[in-house]
Amino acid sequence: MKNLPVFLMGCGGVGRQLLQHIVSCRSLHAKQGLHLRVVGVCDSKSLVVVADVLTSEFDDSFLLEVCRVKSNGSSLQTLANSGVCQVFSGPEVIRKVIDIGLLGKSTGLAFVDCSASAETIGVLNQVVDFGCCVVLANKKPLTVPMEDYEKLVSQPHRLRHESTIGAGLPVIASLNRIISSGDPVYRIIGSLSGTLGYVMSEVEDGKLFSQVVNAAKSLGYTEPDPRDDLGGMDVARKALILARLLGRRLNLDNMKIESLYPEEMGPDVMPLEDFLVNGLPLLDQKIEDRIKQASANGNVLRYVCLIDDARCEVGIQQVPNDSALGRLRGSDNVVEIYSRCYEKQPLVIQGAGAGNDTTAAGVLADILDIQDLFP
């Protein structure tokens, strides 16, 4: 039985779902000769870790208790009296995490970042230097300035980040296979936001933009403040990750990012309730006019990322209504990859591109994918 030690950063929806997947897949992994040994879990404020990272692990009942505690909104520090872990908080957390990475230098250790923080990049770069492996659902470490990015990806065989694009969809694996074969990729276009995909397909059916956004919020499709989705930054980060895989030396500030609301309706200017009730309806006519114009051209509107030799941008584009993007409905993601081999008919990858369950399953698959790097 091969033992693979895992350290989890981030106990939000994806992190908790990952722990539950690890527990529920024990018998399956045992048949594959693999055991995932969770040695530590941290969030932005606290850390729980086993007494001996090299030999110990949290049992499944404790992992499920971590999930219960965090689901209730409580602190990991409430687990201090469990008798099975050491607890650290405040400035001690980062120092201890780096110490754990140093311990993994000789035995191997997988650091799994399921947080949504940009602050993890410093720790991740250090543990990569120690020879540890890194698995990411968090996009932000891959969209930092190029200098930090290049440190993180300096040992690509020790890095997996499939779930940063399209949850569990095999976008990055497919793209890497094409690149490795020497087949030049010259264009990528994709709808990489389930939220914006849903919004654009609904307004295409004749619904008002303001009504669709409010409905999406009530269904839980958007962030608590829908402007976090409508601003396009999440799609921009995904586009930047793909562009960098193609060798483009870009930063976020080099990209054209179209926001679906004007600056005067931004979070720093207009309160959320005012935006939902009074701001959104002011945007209806502009969106409706763009839909009519696209329809007259035999096209539909989609909020997409577009990457080619000259551009890396995100925003509303007209696409043929008979294309994979044009046929897209609901909250699915779809990516079209054009290369020498996929010139006339692109490689199309489509499916559920969001959700804690799907994303966590993609992270777990990435962890299993690095098992051959461990003794």
Query: For each of the chain's 375 residues, which pLDDT tens digit applies?
Result: 899 999 999 999 999 999 999 999 999 999 999 999 999 999 988 999 998 888 899 999 999 999 999 999 898 888 887 777 888 888 788 888 888 888 777 678 999 999 989 889 999 999 999 989 999 999 999 999 999 999 999 999 999 999 999 888 999 999 999 999 999 999 999 999 989 999 998 998 899 999 999 999 888 788 889 999 999 999 999 999 999 999 999 999 999 999 999 999 999 999 999 999 999 999 999 999 999 999 999 999 999 999 999 899 999 999 999 899 999 988 899 999 999 999 989 999 999 877 889 999 999 999 999 988 877
**Is 232 exposed, middle or buried (CB count within 10 Å of its CB: 0-12, 13-18, 19+)?**
buried
What is the Cα–Cα distance from 218 to 30, expressed in whole angstroms? 41
Within 8 A by CB and 6+ apart from 148, the residues are 121, 125, 141
Looking at the DSSP bridge assignments, the partners of residue 48 are: 41, 87
What is the Cα–Cα distance from 124 to 290, expressed in whole angstroms? 43
Question: Is 238 labeled as catalytic in the residue annotation?
Answer: yes
CA neighbor of 362 nearest in space, from 137, 39, 194, 179: 137
What is the Cα–Cα distance from 5 to 39, expressed in whole angstroms? 6
Are residues 213 and 226 in contact, defined by beta-carbon separation less than 8 angstroms?
Answer: yes
Residues annotated as binding site? 10-15, 139, 223
Residues annotated as binding site for NADP(+)? 10-15
Within 8 A by CB and 6+ apart from 156, the residues are none
Ranges assigned E (strand) in 212-331: 256-257, 299-308, 312-320
Whole-prediction pTM value?
Answer: 0.93
CA neighbor of 100 nearest in space, from 149, 41, 58: 41
Q: How many CB atoms lie within 10 A of CB 280?
A: 23
Helices (H), the chain: 13-24, 26-31, 60-71, 92-107, 121-129, 146-152, 171-180, 194-204, 209-218, 227-230, 233-245, 272-274, 284-296, 356-369
Catalytic residue, chosen from 2, 96, 217, 238, is 238
